[in-house]
């Protein structure tokens, strides 16, 4: 199980979701992906995308304009 | 007898019609997944997130919301590059504004058709309703979409299926035509009644259409962009910036994009490597991007206009910092432009 990061800064939604989706498609079940964005909309959209597609958000935080969301790849 | 479960992909715009169309097919035991195309013009997120005052309101992506209501997967596809050709050269022309709806729908159905072939799905669903939209949803244009997209009789419009010739899924008995619908025209009543029957509340009802291209003001800004460049083309950054700030073109060769509040100023500041900027320093004021090559005289004019939108608008002099694309700055003092001199025609 590996950990990856994805820089989605300055992208506006839904681009961070699309980048997350495309990256997750390359990963294996149980891998984690840390997505860093600046559009706070990602705080809603990435978890919604995960719920729909069977992945899990294991942490999310906001710090000085950076939003960091960690996704664990599910087997759906 | 073992029957295989049929699979359909539904075009999900985030509006009520696509929600209902997908649901109607799911009700018949078909496995449905959603597909949503991001063109860059979609009325999703962006500007809501940019403006500080809107941050308090939680914003949602309607396509994701619809998929969650339906309990289906959603595939979001970035079509920004390919879509340019649709906006720039629509073979069927534009609707009321810059909206190339007929080409757009044909393009999306074509992409969905490619997707079902690659993913081994059986057919495509859209929420189109005959007679609902003046351009793409007419009795004579709906077959155009089916034909030009290549989807042919694999394209099902459940909300108005009974007005259209039977599609393959109906002929094959994968779908019972009797349980599809006969909606038509601009009325929204049947959709609202069906939403109630299915128990959907709080759905989005976009007024003009699913994207910014149906907006008169936005379309005017695109036309201005093309006219000033002398060619019809755009990048994603261009169309994002058209959604932000006040756009003023005091001369043919340059345009100012002036932040209207803190959130927009922050957003615009992210573009400081692509544009020269002006920031008032003696008074609180907006961040302005300058789109176009400017000389000293132009910079002064730009500074006077920017100062007009600062706290120093009535001051005798306002100091501003001009920074070019290379990051070299200089301070200049200007007289804020009186409102009377701000030409109406400059407003884009
Ligand atoms: S409103 Fe926009 S997204 Fe919708 S069909 Fe027309 S051009 Fe396409």
Which tens digits make up the pLDDT trace of B183-220?
999 899 999 999 999 999 988 876 556 789 999 999 99
Quote the CA–CA distance of B157 and A21 in Å, as a whole number.
Answer: 28
Token code pair at residue B294: 């400017």
Quick one: pLDDT at residue B46? 45
Q: List CB contacts (< 8 A) between B50 and chain A.
A: 12
Residue B252 lies in a domain: yes
Burial class (CB within 10 angstroms; exposed 0-12, middle 13-18, buried 19+) of B178: exposed
Cα(B13) to centroid of ligand 1, in Å? 10
Query: Which residues of A are designated catalytic?
Result: 13
What is the count of structural domains for chain B?
A: 2
For domain A3-72, which CATH number applies: 3.40.50.150, 3.30.110.40, 3.20.20.70, 3.30.70.270? 3.30.110.40
Is the model's pLDDT at B234 over the cut of 50? Answer: yes
Is the model's pLDDT at A3 over the cut of 60? Answer: yes
**Residue B192 sits in the same domain as residue B319:** no
**Residue B185 sits in the same domain as residue B310:** no
Quote the CA–CA distance of B214 and B211 in Å, as a whole number.
Answer: 6
Task: Give the SS3 label for residue B257.
Answer: strand
Quick one: pLDDT at residue A4? 98
How high does pLDDT run on average in chain B?
92
Average pLDDT score over residue span B3-9:
93
- In this prediction, residue B49 has a pLDDT band, given cuts at 50, 70 and 90, of low
Residue B217 lies in a domain: no
Cα separations in angstroms, B237 against B62, B115, B252, B341: 23, 28, 21, 31
Quote the CA–CA distance of B66 and B72 in Å, as a whole number.
Answer: 9
CB contact under 8 A, B240 and A45: no
Regarding the beta carbon of B214 and ligand 1, being less than 6 Å apart is answered yes
Helix (H) or strand (E) holding B86, with range, is: helix B80-88
Nearest of A29, A20, A18 to residue A76 by alpha carbon:
A29
Considering chain B, what percentage of its residues have pLDDT values greater than 70? 94
Average pLDDT score over residue span B157-167:
97
- Nearest-CA distance from B33 to chain A in Å? 10
**Residue B100 sits in the same domain as residue B183:** yes
Q: Are B306 and B282 in contact (CB under 8 A)?
A: no
Partner residue facing A14 (CB), from B58, B76, B266: B76
**Residue B274 sits in the same domain as residue B165:** no
CB contact under 8 A, B75 and A21: yes
**Residue B147 sits in the same domain as residue B99:** yes
Quick one: pLDDT at residue B1? 61
- Can you give the CATH number for the domain in which B174 is found? 3.40.50.620
Is the model's pLDDT at B69 over the cut of 90? Answer: yes
Nearest of A75, A63, A40 to residue B59 by alpha carbon:
A40
Token code pair at residue B84: 């340019």
Residue B11 lies in a domain: yes
Please state the atom number of ligand 1 nearest to the C-alpha of residue B213.
2
Cα(B280) to centroid of ligand 1, in Å? 39
**Residue B151 sits in the same domain as residue B262:** no
Cα(B109) to centroid of ligand 1, in Å? 12
Q: List CB contacts (< 8 A) between B65 and chain A.
A: 48
Q: Take atom 6 of ligand 1 and give the residue whose Cα is closest.
A: B101
Condensed to tens digits (0 to 9), the pLDDT of residues B134-158 reads 878 888 899 999 999 999 999 999 9
Condensed to tens digits (0 to 9), the pLDDT of residues B304-325 reads 999 999 999 999 999 999 999 9
Beta-carbon-side half-sphere exposure of residue B51 (alpha carbons within 13 Å): 13
Mutation to probe ligand 1, out of B16, B62, B100 (largest number of atoms < 8 A from CB): B100
Average pLDDT score over residue span B250-272:
93
Regarding the beta carbon of B209 and ligand 1, being less than 6 Å apart is answered yes
**Residue B16 sits in the same domain as residue B78:** yes
Quote the CA–CA distance of B58 and B63 in Å, as a whole number.
Answer: 15
Quick one: pLDDT at residue B58? 56
Partner residue facing B38 (CB), from A18, A48, A49: A18
Condensed to tens digits (0 to 9), the pLDDT of residues B168-184 reads 999 999 999 999 999 99
The domain locations on chain A are 3-72
Quick one: pLDDT at residue B203? 86
Q: Omega of the bond prior to A14 within 30 degrees of 0, cis?
A: yes
Residue B291 lies in a domain: yes
- In this prediction, residue B260 has a pLDDT band, given cuts at 50, 70 and 90, of very high
**Residue B155 sits in the same domain as residue B12:** yes
DSSP B204: B
Nearest of B61, B112, B271 to residue A10 by alpha carbon:
B271
Question: Rounded to an integer, what is the distance from CA B40 to the centroid of its chain?
Answer: 6
Q: Which domain holds residue B335?
A: 244-346
Inter-chain contacts counted by CB atoms under 8 A, chains A and B: 67
Residue B297 lies in a domain: yes
Q: What is the pTM of this model?
A: 0.91
Quick one: pLDDT at residue B139? 85
**Residue B180 sits in the same domain as residue B254:** no
Condensed to tens digits (0 to 9), the pLDDT of residues A8-57 reads 998 888 999 999 999 999 999 999 999 999 888 899 999 999 999 999 99
Q: Are B38 and B79 in contact (CB under 8 A)?
A: yes
CB contact under 8 A, A48 and B49: no
Nearest of A17, A38, A12 to residue B242 by alpha carbon:
A12
Kindly report the backbone phi and psi dihedral angles of residue B111, in degrees, each rounded to the nearest multiple of 5, phi listed first. -65, -40
**Residue B55 sits in the same domain as residue B177:** yes
**Residue B41 sits in the same domain as residue B190:** yes
Residue B260 lies in a domain: yes
**Residue B200 sits in the same domain as residue B279:** no
Q: What residue in B sits closest to A47 (Cα-Cα)?
A: B64
Quick one: pLDDT at residue B137? 85
Residue B206 lies in a domain: yes
> ipTM value of the model?
0.93
Contacts of the segment A58-63: beta carbons below 8 A, 24+ positions apart: A58/A32
- Of B195, B211, B227, which one is at a domain's C-terminal end? B211
């Amino acid at each position: 199980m590996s950990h990856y990061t994805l820089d989605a800064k300055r992208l506006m939604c839904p681009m961070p979701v699309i980048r997350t989706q495309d990256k997750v498609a390359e990963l294996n079940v149980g891998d984690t992906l840390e997505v860093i964005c600046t559009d706070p909309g990602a705080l809603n959209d990435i978890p919604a995308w995960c719920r729909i597609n069977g992945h899990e958000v294991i942490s999310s935080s906001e710090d000085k304009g950076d939003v960091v969301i960690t996704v664990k790849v599910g087997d759906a | 007898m073992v029957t295989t479960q049929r699979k359909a992909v539904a075009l999900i715009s985030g509006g009520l019609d696509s929600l209902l169309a997908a649901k109607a097919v799911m009700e018949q035991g078909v496995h449905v997944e959603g597909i949503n195309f991001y063109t860059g013009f979609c009325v999703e997120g962006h500007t809501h997130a940019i403006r500080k005052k809107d941050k308090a309101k939680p914003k949602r992506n309607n396509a994701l919301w619809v998929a969650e209501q339906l309990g289906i997967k959603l595939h979001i596809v970035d079509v920004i590059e390919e879509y340019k050709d649709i906006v720039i050269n629509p073979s069927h022309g534009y609707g009321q504004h810059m909206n190339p709806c007929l080409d757009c729908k044909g393009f999306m159905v074509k992409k969905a058709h490619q997707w079902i072939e690659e993913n081994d799905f059986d057919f495509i669903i859209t929420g189109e309703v005959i007679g609902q939209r003046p351009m793409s949803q007419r009795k004579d244009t709906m077959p155009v979409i089916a034909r030009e997209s290549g989807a042919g009789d694999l394209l099902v419009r459940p909300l108005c299926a009974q007005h259209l010739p039977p599609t393959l899924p109906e002929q094959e008995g994968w779908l019972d035509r009797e349980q599809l619908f006969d909606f038509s025209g601009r009325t929204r009543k049947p959709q609202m009644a069906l939403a109630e029957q299915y128990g959907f509340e709080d759905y989005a009802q976009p007024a003009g259409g699913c994207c910014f291209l149906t907006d008169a003001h936005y379309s005017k800004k695109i036309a201005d962009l093309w006219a000033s460049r002398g060619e019809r083309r755009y990048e994603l950054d261009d169309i994002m910036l058209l959604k932000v700030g006040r756009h003023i073109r005091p001369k043919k060769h340059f345009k100012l994009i002036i932040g209207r509040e803190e959130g927009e100023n922050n957003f615009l500041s992210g573009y400081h490597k692509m544009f020269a900027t002006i920031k008032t320093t003696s008074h609180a004021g907006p961040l302005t991007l300058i789109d176009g090559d400017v000389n000293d005289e132009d910079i002064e004019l730009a500074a006077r206009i920017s100062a007009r939108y600062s706290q120093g608008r009535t001051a005798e002099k306002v100091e501003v910092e001009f920074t070019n694309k290379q990051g070299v700055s200089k301070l200049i003092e200007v007289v804020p432009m009186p409102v009377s001199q701000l030409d109406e025609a400059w407003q884009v």
